[in-house]
Structure formats: structure tokens, C-alpha cells
Amino acid sequence: MTYRIEHLFTTPLYSSSVSNFSVIKDNIDKCIEKIDFRYREQWGKTHLLSDPTFAEDILKKYRLNVVKKEIENHLKQYCKELGFSMRPYDFTSWFIMMRNGDYAHFHDHAPSDLSGVLYYKTNSADGDIHFHAPHPFFKMSKCFSNYDRSWKHTPQEGKVLLFPGWLQHGVASNMTDNIRIALSFNIDFKE
């Protein structure tokens, strides 16, 4: 008997490392102490943000051009793999600080086209990022219920992830005394 399984409607997640993390780290080091991290009032004391409104581009505000260029290089590669022709886009970005006990609830960044994270400071034990399976119907079937689970990525300094803005994700509680800092961003392509 010959057969094949075709996996339909996959969710492509891009994972890579930045090529020049020491330069990027130096670039961020120069501004991180100037940032007034605050909680988003509606979420309570879950984690600190450089911009709880998500309206600004922290990279532009602090002229972190080296970081932006590196993200653009990864964005071009991701779009190439998706078969999507790059076009102009709007970019918003913010830093997330997670202290002991902090976490990020499950959420998405819709209607943004793409979202991403770049890990700046982590000990790799201060909270994995988890992605929910995007198909709510998996759990309705006994034979597909094992597909209805979360996938996780362990943070590593210099690691960058890109994923669809609609993909639900959250971060496990930081159970260490390490202060974890990551750069999150959204990309909205123009028509």
C-alpha cells in the first residue's frame, strides 16, 4: 500500500540567531537604562513594557539602527521562504522586562501581519515562549487531540523569532532572579 500524509495549513515560524549579537548588545546597552519601564494597567503586574500603548517604535526613538537593520535582514529571509514579495511596511517595537514572577498571558498581535521577538538579556531559564495551536477544532477529535497543544521555544540571547501576528503566544513565569529583557515588534505591510 502506498500513501502519503499532506500537512495542510501549516504555521511557519522563523527561528534564527543574529549574526552580530555583540554589536547589537552594545547598541541596546546604550539606551536600556534610559527607558522608563511600566506596567500596562489593564493587565496588572504581569510584566514591564517600554511602551504600554504599543504605539511607538522604540528602535526609532533610540536610534537603534543596527538592531533594525538586523531585523530587516531576517524579515527578508522569512518573506522569501513564505514566497511573499517584500513591500513597504509600518514597524512598531517595544522592550519587555520580566522580573521574578512576571509572565505574559496568551495573546496575539492581530491584525499585524507579522510579529517577532529578539532576546537581548536572558539566562535561558527565565521563561519559555509558548505558541498555541491555531486550529481550535483539533481538540474535538480523539485522533487529532494530540495536535492541540502548545509548542515552546527557549529564549537565548541573540535569538530572533518571526511568526504570524495572529498566532497566540505567551511567556511562562520567570521563576529565576534574572531580569529578562526582550525586544518585541510588529510589522504591518502597506498595500
pLDDT digits (tens, 9 = 90+) for 91-113: 999 999 999 999 999 999 999 99
In 3D, which of 141, 191, 150 has the Cα closest to residue 171? Answer: 150
Share of the chain above pLDDT 90, in %: 81
More confident residue, 144 or 188: 188
- Cα(first)–Cα(last) distance of the chain, in Å? 48
Roughly what angle, to the nearest 10 degrees, separates helices 65-82 and 21-32?
130
Euclidean distance between CA atoms 23 and 16, whole angstroms: 17
Q: What's the DSSP call for residue 42?
A: G
Strands 48-49 and 14-17: unpaired
Q: Is the dihedral of CA 171, 175, 177, 178 positive or negative?
A: negative
> Which residues have CB under 8 Å from 84's CB, separation 6+?
none
Predicted TM-score (pTM) of this structure? 0.93
Instruction: Give the phi and the psi of residue 48 in degrees, each rounded to 5.
Output: -90, 145
Share of the chain above pLDDT 70, in %: 99
In 3D, which of 104, 95, 100 has the Cα closest to residue 126? Answer: 100
pLDDT tens per residue across span 66-77: 999 999 999 999
pLDDT at 141: 81
Helices H, strands E: what count in the chain? 3, 11
